[in-house]
Each structure stands twice: as structure tokens, then as C-alpha cells.
């Protein structure tokens, strides 16, 4: 009778938990404290303005010019001296001679007197002698003259120099994630580049001899790989830059292949999906320990307890469980934090929290952080209902769920009727805090 082969043991004093299990698990709060100190912004780079949206400023933006840099018309109409329009009405129209016009990019260079006007378009420079713009609907032009039928006060319909932005004004602070309107504002200053934090370069290392890519032929015993698709989207959400976009090449459950991916240069963070637990073919933890430092392996969190974190060279390595719910949870609690902080975004979760009332009890154990998928209704305040699914491999549970609740390690759960905080999957933004 054939006996099962024993896993090859790593050399040296590396702790090997394969086929033995975890004797202890790290407390999540301690892992997060370590991670916040290890993940620092990666440096800065100057980026062309067309590539700035979504990036994070590494230096503030101060206005080098006034915007607008000249007085400009806010209406299509006629620029005149405001005092000359006093008394104008439909029954007493006042006439002015038209002596020229001012167009955007081609202003009027002559002078205006009390009895004269110039035709002017929106955005065109207003001559110094003009003190208001009469809208076209309050004027009648014919034969080189215009009749004004309503008085216009001084300054009306004129956008003053610097009313949008004044020279030297602090506009955007360091750490701001640039929105499209921020990029437009930078462009309005005449700037064609800005300094931003460098994006985190992320490598996906997907292991598993049972995996097959979507669209390929699946044999008995194989499963379609999906974690790389989820991780790629999460990395993009958090501002990271994938080394290779999905579909990624799977790595065989063999030490040389995994070692090569861990030691290949140029990655800031390596996400290992699968092979992180205690099975005989789970080589990644011992390899990280041999090639660098495996700081944590096994955390007091459900799901995702087999997660690990360490370093190989300059890269932070995150060992994410192969079960998709565990993978999502471990990414959000640990890896996403590091990617955001390295890219200058801080550590806050991108999910927006809301408060609600728990409809059923959630049970947990003291000392363990629990990630619980929940449904949320439209009541005010909303009712929060735990989904009766515990399996870390049930990816569809995260699509049926509206969000999740994190039960902190110091609690045994939440009683029915408790006021709790829930994080919504479909309301991604910069949240007020992290777990």
C-alpha cells in the first residue's frame, strides 16, 4: 500500500506549520500597528496633467497667477459706463454709439466715453473705462447704435480679475486625491504637471495547480480562478499599479516557481493568493521566511486566519487565503491599507459606514476579529441582518450582501437590537476610520 509522501521541510530554523496547524495567532490590532509603521509613502514623481486624475498630491498647489487674469464679461451684450445708463427704460431708451467690439482672445484697444459702447461677448476682456455690461436682451442695436432699455449698476456682469483665484492662494493641499475638477483647476493656472506620490507597484502571485482561467477548458478537479480579478479591481480602487493585468499567469505549487516570483525585483507589494495555510503544498509562508522575514503567519480573524505578512527584499508580502471571502477580507484589512498609505492616501477604509439596528444576534469569540456579511434594508435607521452563511469559499455571499460588520476582538458579538456600524460595499469613498 502506498503511503502519502511527506512535505519537503525547509532548511534552517524556519518555523514550518504545514500539516501541524497554528499554535498561536497574532492579534489584528498588533498586525495593523506594525503595518502602519512599515508602509510609508514611496516617494514622488512629476506627472503630466492629463494623467493626474485620481493621483495624490505630494506637494501643495499655490496659484502662480490670478484667475481670471483680467476683468471679463459675464454676458453677451454691450460694455458701457454704468452712470450713463441711469434713467433708461422701455419708454425712455438711451442711445450709444458702437465704437468697436471685444471678443474672447481679442480685446478692444480703444477708449469708451459716456456716450459710446462696445459690443462684447462672454469671456472677453472688459476695457478699463467700461464699468458694467448691459445684457443683449436689454438692448436694441441698429445702424451702428445701440439703445439701452434698463439701467445697469456699476460692476454688474463683470467677472473681476482674481475673483476665482488670486495669485499666491493655497488651492490644493498635500495628500489630496485629485478629482477631475481639481485637475481642471490646475490647468487653469497654466500648469501642465504636478508632483504626486508614486503609485504602489503590485505583483499578483496566484498559486494553485487546480486553477484554470475563465474561458479555458476545465477538467475534473479544477476550478475557475477568480481571486486575481477581484484583487486587480481592489488594487486599482486603492491607487496601486498592477505589474501585470489579469489574466495573470498562475504559478505552480512548487518552491522554485514561487521563489522566483517572490525575489523578482521592482515590486513594492506582492499579493500571494492561495498556498498560505498549513497544507503540504503551502510553500509560500516558509519561502517568505527563508528569503526575507515572515513577521506574522496566522491572525485572530474570521475568516482569513491563515493570512501572513512579511518582507522579501524591499517588498511587503501579503499571504492571502485562497478562499475568495477570506481573500477579500484579508486584502481589505491588511493589504489595501498598505497600498493606500504607500501611495499617499492614508489608511482609512474606502467603504462608507452607516449606522443601523441589528435584527439578529451576531456571535463571536473574545480575542478574534469577525467579518460578518449582512443585508441592509431601506428603513430609517436601516435594519442590519446577518446572512446565514459562514463559508469562506462562498463568494456569492459577498454579492448577495449589502455590506459587512466588523465585530472587534474585545466583544463576544452584538445582541439583537444593538445600534451598530456597518460598511456598505456599494458606497466606496474615504471613510472616517479603519478597522
> What is the 8-class DSSP label of residue 137?
G
Which band of pLDDT confidence, cut at 50, 70 and 90, is reported for residue 191? Answer: very high
| Residue that wins the pLDDT comparison between 357 and 281 | 357
Mean pLDDT of 303-331: 94
pLDDT range class, residue 374, cuts 50, 70, 90: very high
- Asked if 275 contacts 325 with a C-beta cutoff of 8 angstroms, the reply is no
pLDDT of residue 391: 66
User: Do residues 141 and 97 touch, judged by C-beta distance below 8 A?
Assistant: no
Residues in the chain: 435
For the four alpha carbons of 285, 288, 290 and 294, in that order, the dihedral sign comes to negative
Residue 309 has pLDDT above 70, yes or no: yes
Q: What's the CA gap between 374 and 170, in Å, rounded? A: 43
pLDDT at 14 over 70: no
Per-residue pLDDT, 24: 84
DSSP track, 8-52: PPPSTT----TTT--S--B-HHHHHHHHHHH-----EEEEEGGG-
- pLDDT category, 372, cuts 50, 70, 90? very high
For residue 432, give every residue at least 6 positions away whose Cβ sits within 8 Å of its Cβ, in sequence order, or none. Answer: 348, 353
Helix or strand (DSSP H, E) at 186: helix 180-188
Q: How confident is the model at residue 276 (pLDDT cuts 50, 70, 90)?
A: confident
Q: Where are the beta strands (DSSP E) in 138-188?
A: 139-142, 145-148, 158-159, 170-172
**Share of the chain residues as helix, strand and coil, in percent rounded to the nearest 5:** 20, 30, 50
Tell me the mean pLDDT in the region 248-272.
92
Q: What is the CA radius of gyration of the chain?
A: 32
One-letter-per-residue 3-state SS of 261-306: HHHCCCCCEEEEECCCCCCCCCCHHHHHHHHCEEEEECECEECCCC
pLDDT of res. 81: 98
Q: How confident is the model at residue 386 (pLDDT cuts 50, 70, 90)?
A: very high
- The DSSP bridge partners found for residue 1 are none
Residue 58 reports pLDDT greater than 70: yes
pLDDT of residue 305: 92
The pLDDT, as a whole number, for residue 119 is 98
Mean pLDDT of 334-353: 93
Confidence of residue 428 (pLDDT cuts 50, 70, 90): low
Of 163-172, 248-257, 417-426, least confident by mean pLDDT is: 248-257
In this prediction, residue 429 has a pLDDT band, given cuts at 50, 70 and 90, of low
The whole-number pLDDT of residue 279 equals 62
C-alpha 185/C-alpha 54 separation (Å) is 14
Under the banding of pLDDT at 50, 70 and 90, the label for residue 61 is very high
**Distance in angstroms (rounded) separating the CA atoms of residues 122 and 142:** 21
**How confident is the model at residue 389, as a pLDDT?**
62
Supply the pTM of this predicted model.
0.83
The percentage of the chain sitting over the pLDDT mark of 90, rounded to a whole number, equals 77
74: left (phi over 0), alpha (psi -120 to 50) or beta: alpha
Looking up cell 451684450 gives 77
Q: What is residue 281's predicted lDDT score, i.e. its pLDDT?
A: 67
Sequence-distant (6+) residues with CB within 8 A of 317 are: 262, 269, 270, 272, 288, 292, 308, 309, 310, 311
Place 277 in a pLDDT band, splitting at 50, 70 and 90.
Answer: low
Q: Closest Cα to residue 310, out of 341, 357, 272?
A: 272
Q: What is the pLDDT of residue 393?
A: 72
Q: In b/e form, how buried is each residue of 190-218, taking b as 16+ CB within 10 angstroms?
A: eeeebebbbbbbbbbbbbbeebebeeeee
Domains and CATH numbers, the chain: 28-43+199-342 (3.40.980.10), 48-67+164-197 (3.90.105.10), 72-159 (2.170.190.11), 351-428 (2.40.340.10)
Render pLDDT for 109-143 as a digit per residue (tens, 0 to 9): 999 999 999 999 999 999 999 999 999 999 999 99
Helix (H, G, I), strand (E, B) or coil at 397: helix
Q: Are 418 and 384 in contact (CB under 8 A)?
A: no
Residue 262: which pLDDT band, with cuts at 50, 70 and 90? very high
The residue written with cell numbers 456579511 in the block is 373
Buried b or exposed e, range 322-345, using 16+ CB within 10 angstroms: bbbbbbbbbbbbbbbbbbbbbbbb
In the predicted model, what is the mean pLDDT of residues 256-284?
87
- Checking if the pLDDT of 224 tops 50, the result is yes
Q: Which of 16-25, 66-75, 224-233, 240-249 is predicted least confidently?
A: 16-25
Nearest CA-CA partner of 154 in 213, 71, 65, 233: 71
Read off the pLDDT band of 107 (50, 70, 90).
very high
Amino acid at each position: 500500500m502506498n503511503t502519502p509522501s511527506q512535505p519537503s521541510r525547509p532548511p534552517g530554523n524556519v518555523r514550518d506549520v504545514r500539516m501541524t496547524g497554528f499554535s498561536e495567532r497574532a492579534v489584528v490590532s498588533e498586525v495593523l500597528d506594525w503595518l502602519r509603521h512599515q508602509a510609508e509613502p514611496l516617494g514622488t514623481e512629476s506627472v503630466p496633467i492629463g494623467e493626474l486624475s485620481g493621483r495624490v498630491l505630494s506637494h501643495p498647489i499655490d496659484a502662480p497667477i490670478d484667475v481670471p487674469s483680467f476683468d471679463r464679461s459675464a454676458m453677451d451684450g454691450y460694455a458701457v459706463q454704468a452712470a450713463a445708463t441711469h434713467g433708461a427704460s422701455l419708454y425712455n431708451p438711451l442711445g450709444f454709439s458702437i465704437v468697436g467690439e471685444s471678443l474672447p482672445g481679442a480685446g478692444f484697444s480703444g477708449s469708451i466715453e459716456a456716450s459710446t459702447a462696445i459690443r462684447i461677448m462672454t469671456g472677453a476682456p472688459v476695457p478699463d473705462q467700461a464699468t458694467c455690461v448691459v445684457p443683449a436682451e436689454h438692448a436694441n442695436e441698429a445702424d451702428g447704435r445701440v439703445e439701452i432699455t434698463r439701467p445697469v449698476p456699476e460692476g454688474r456682469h463683470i467677472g473681476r480679475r482674481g475673483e476665482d483665484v488670486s495669485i499666491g492662494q493655497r488651492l490644493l493641499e498635500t495628500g489630496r486625491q485629485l478629482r477631475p475638477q481639481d485637475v481642471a483647476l490646475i490647468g487653469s493656472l497654466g500648469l501642465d504637471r504636478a508632483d504626486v506620490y508614486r503609485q504602489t507597484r503590485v505583483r499578483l502571485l496566484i498559486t494553485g495547480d487546480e486553477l484554470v482561467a475563465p474561458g479555458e477548458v476545465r477538467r475534473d478537479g479544477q476550478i475557475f480562478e477568480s481571486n486575481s480579478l477581484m484583487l486587480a479591481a481592489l488594487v486599482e480602487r486603492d491607487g496601486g499599479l498592477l505589474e501585470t493585468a489579469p489574466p495573470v499567469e498562475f504559478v505552480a505549487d512548487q518552491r522554485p516557481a514561487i521563489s522566483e516570483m517572490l525575489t523578482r525585483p521592482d515590486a513594492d507589494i506582492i499579493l500571494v493568493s492561495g498556498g498560505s495555510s498549513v497544507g503540504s503544498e503551502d510553500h509560500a509562508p516558509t519561502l517568505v521566511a527563508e528569503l526575507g522575514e515572515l513577521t506574522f503567519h496566522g491572525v485572530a480573524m474570521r475568516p482569513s486566519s491563515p493570512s501572513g505578512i512579511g518582507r522579501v527584499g524591499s517588498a511587503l508580502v501579503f499571504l492571502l487565503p485562497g478562499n475568495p471571502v477570506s481573500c477579500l477580507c484579508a486584502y481589505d484589512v491588511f493589504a489595501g491599507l498598505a497600498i493606500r498609505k504607500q501611495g499617499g492616501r492614508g489608511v482609512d477604509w474606502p467603504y462608507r459606514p452607516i449606522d443601523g439596528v441589528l435584527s439578529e444576534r451576531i456571535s463571536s469569540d473574545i480575542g478574534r476579529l469577525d467579518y460578518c456579511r449582512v443585508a441592509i434594508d431601506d428603513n430609517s435607521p436601516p435594519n442590519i441582518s446577518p446572512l446565514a452563511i459562514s463559508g469562506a469559499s462562498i463568494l456569492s455571499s459577498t454579492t448577495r450582501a449589502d455590506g459587512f460588520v466588523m465585530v472587534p476582538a474585545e466583544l463576544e458579538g452584538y445582541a439583537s437590537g444593538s445600534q451598530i456600524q456597518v460598511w456598505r460595499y456599494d458606497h466606496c469613498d474615504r471613510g472616517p476610520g479603519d478597522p
